[in-house]
A and B are shown apart, each in its own frame.
Chain A
């Protein structure tokens, strides 16, 4: 089945810093989503982005489907950005496969 690799696995930032999270996938995908799981476990959908670029406030995402990767940009990070960021893809079936996540800690 499709493999989803996220990097880096762990990231520590000083508040105000910018960062880029990467998601590589091993096969063509129909859909790609980015999620943030907060320290209380709630998964929040950040972007539904099978291709192209989207922006939402300090966050933006770009998916280059032909090269099988997606990037999540976090600018001017805040302590509330801490948590785990997951990339999730599906290949046209009904199940979405999650990567192992990037664990982000933003220091005040």
Chain B
């Protein structure tokens, strides 16, 4: 297991189109997170999964955004009717937690850079 994988690395799409990103976490990690990062800013939390359950969503995640983690394995993040303001780096991270507490820190993937034109 070489780490957290994200696909695609880059995506250019026209405004109004739908896009879907995939994240494959480290296999033994039970927590998965999606973050968004714009130029010059720190990553902003979008949503979090404990196994297959989506336990928290940020207010940043409008109705156009949806995330899934079927069977507690890989996760997808879909953006419908993309807008230019959605242009950003979308980062996925995973971690291992037991008894409700992190055992170690997060491992991030390389991200998917989305450009909406």
Fill in one digit per residue for A66-105: 1 if any B CB lies within 8 Å of its CB, else 0.
Answer: 0000000000000000000010100001111111110000
Are B42 and A99 in contact (CB-based, < 8 A)? yes
Q: Which residue numbers of A lie inside 8 Å of B, CB to CB?
A: 30-31, 33, 35, 41-45, 47-48, 86, 88, 93-101
Q: Which residue of B lies closest to A40 (CB)?
A: B110
B12 interfacial by beta-carbon distance below 8 Å? no
- Bound state CA distance, A41 and B111, in angstroms? 8
Interface of B is mostly: strand
Q: Which residue numbers of B lie inside 8 Å of A, CB to CB?
A: 31, 33, 35, 41-45, 48, 50, 55-56, 58, 89, 91, 93, 101-102, 104-108, 110-111, 113
Say how far A33's CB is from chain B's closest CB, in angstroms. Answer: 5
Contact of B56 among A43, A93, A97, A100 (CB under 8 A): A93
Which residues of chain A have C-beta atoms less than 8 A from B44's C-beta? Answer: 98
Are B42 and A45 in contact (CB-based, < 8 A)? no
Which residues of chain A have C-beta atoms less than 8 A from B35's C-beta? Answer: 98
